[in-house]
Amino acid sequence: METKDCLQCKKEFSITQEDFEFYEKLKVPPPTLCPGCRQRRRYAWRNERVLYRRDCDLCKKSTVTIYSPKSPYTVYCPSCWWSDNWDPMSYGAEYDFNRGFFEQFKELQLKVPRMGLLTKNSVNSDYTNHAGNNKNCYLSFGIFDSENVYYSANTIVSPSKDCIDCYWSGGEVLYNCINCTNCYNCQYGMLLKNCTDCYYSYDLRDCSNCFLSSNLRSKSYCFKNEQLSKEEYEKKVSEYKLSSPKVRKELYEEYKRMLKSEAIHRDGVIENSNDCTGSMVFNSKTSTNIFDTRDAEDCKYIVVTVDIKDSMDVYHVGYSCERTYESQGMVRDTNVFFSHLCYDNSDMQYGDTCHNSQELFGCISLKKKKYCIFNTQYSKEEYLELKERIIKQMTNRGEYGEFYPVEMSPFGYNETQGMVYMPMTKEEVLANGWKWEDDMPGTYGKETVSETPSGYDDSITKEVLKCSRSGKNYNITPYELSFYKQHKLPIPDLCPEERYQDRINLRPKRELFDRSCSNCKKQVQSSYSTSQVDIVYCYNCYKDAVL
């Protein structure tokens, strides 16, 4: 094992012998940043949910995009970007060995048209990103094969229908559910699986009709973990006026108190997995420091992945990926390093939004290409020789072997997932030489009503509301209103972004903290900080108490 000082935060971090063997296999140098700073760098390249309107630079039609109207990039709407009406190879450049790689790559970025939004094969779902095969979805991100999904993210565990304010959940008729799988008609649930009609509950499996309960298996009609008859349960629940904003706020506060002080949390949520560390890990093996991951094998430092093998330091990657490294936004890739938003590729390095290609180096927006450098075509022999020369020059300059620098990101840090998971002040961002977006979308002071309505009058869909926390204006759509009315939910007094951040705050962190098991006092590493929840059990104690 070797220790190094991170070039960004200056903290010491370790590189294990297994890490060195991985780098040797990929023929890349060891990293210069600690794992946290490497993840921050990848976050800073992902604008997932900040949307603007601007005109497509090809068809000139107004389009929804992740690039602000004042962004210096050429931006095409999805239809134009995927079309044959333009040729990304026409922007090709010859590599200049008198200059650095990243300086030249930045110039190419400013010339080659960028995809305005990543969405395909959807109907009435313009305000979605990293999404496909959806119908009637709105302000939702990382969703697929879903219908009537609003203000939700990462509903990739299964198709979803009629869901509002959910995170990493799948099922039907869900509201404010977090990491729930195959559930129906649940509200304010977290870590529910195969559950029906459960409200304000945590860590339930195969349960129905449970209220303010936690850590139950195959139970029905439980109120605060107390077993009741069907009649007793229904009488208890009926005592709450669920359509009342006051009652709902009190229930939400009680739910949060239960999560913090009463529910048993396992040190890391790891299921059907062997030899793994991290949290929210399912069906995986021999992987270290992995988070929000399914079907991973022999991986390390990966976040939000599905079906991935032999990879390290990647974010939002999967669906049959192998030997990927220092990348973000990758699908069905093999031997792809230091790349951003690239699907169906092999043997590529420093790709930016390239698809269905092989043997690319330093290319942007290419589709179905091979043996290209800086969007210029070469023969196989020319490509291999030039690539090795560039790698040698980059290595000598200290440029080769890591993801793109944050300062090269097309986005302001506050537009990206970095601001969600690793927030920084504007002063901190600018001190690092990174970008900050001052003109974020949204309006303030335009509200048409002074208070959030307590009823369900149709006129509310024509009003402008004010977030009680941030002051940002927001609207209620007709579909939302009908959903709230049908399920006795009050009109929310927080805007969608504040509600999203509340869900993030309730989840386990994407890092590990040292603490002791609340039962046997054994030292463990947990994804829950000591300030977040009170009761954390090691696996054996959790198994004895819950399973």
pLDDT tens-place string over residues 74-100:
999 999 999 999 999 999 999 999 999
Kind and range of the H or E run holding 441: none
Q: What mean pLDDT, rounded, does the chain reach?
A: 95
- Check pLDDT > 70 for residue 157: no
Three-state DSSP class for 128? strand
* Residue 1 confidence (pLDDT): 81
* Residue 176 confidence (pLDDT): 97
121 torsion bin: left (phi>0), alpha (psi -120 to 50), beta (else): left
Three-state DSSP class for 434? coil
* pLDDT tens per residue across span 36-62: 999 999 999 999 999 999 999 999 999
* pLDDT tens per residue across span 494-546: 999 999 999 999 999 999 999 999 999 999 999 999 999 999 999 999 999 99
- Check pLDDT > 90 for residue 158: no
* Residue 454 confidence (pLDDT): 85
* pLDDT tens per residue across span 264-275: 999 999 999 999
* Residue 248 confidence (pLDDT): 95
- Check pLDDT > 90 for residue 203: yes
* Residue 156 confidence (pLDDT): 61
Buried b or exposed e, range 458-478, using 16+ CB within 10 angstroms: eebeeeebbbeeeebbbebee
Q: Which residues are 436's β-sheet partners?
A: none
| 235-263 mean pLDDT | 95
Count of CB atoms within 10 A of residue 389's CB?
12
Q: Which of 168, 224, 138 is nearest to 475 (CA)?
A: 138
* Residue 155 confidence (pLDDT): 72
Split at pLDDT 50, 70, 90, the class of 547 is confident
Q: Which of 160, 206, 212, 156 is nearest to 187 (CA)?
A: 212
Residue listed under structure tokens 């940043």: 33
Handedness of CA 92, 97, 98, 102 (dihedral sign): positive
* pLDDT tens per residue across span 376-405: 999 999 999 999 999 999 999 999 999 999
Residue listed under structure tokens 């072997």: 401
* pLDDT tens per residue across span 324-355: 999 999 999 999 999 999 999 999 999 999 99
The burial class, CB within 10 Å (0-12 / 13-18 / 19+), for 370 is middle
Q: Who has greater pLDDT, 256 or 168?
A: 256
Ordered DSSP codes for 422-440: S---HHHHHHTT----SS-
**pLDDT over 70 percentage in the chain:** 99
* Residue 455 confidence (pLDDT): 86
CA distance 444 to 439: 12
Contact 195, 205 (CB under 8 A): yes
Three-state DSSP class for 514? strand
Contact 8, 407 (CB under 8 A): no
**pLDDT over 90 percentage in the chain:** 94
The pTM (predicted TM-score) of the whole model is 0.93
* Residue 154 confidence (pLDDT): 85
| Strand segments (E) across 206-249 | 208-211, 214-217, 220-223, 226-227
| DSSP-derived secondary structure letter, 229 | -
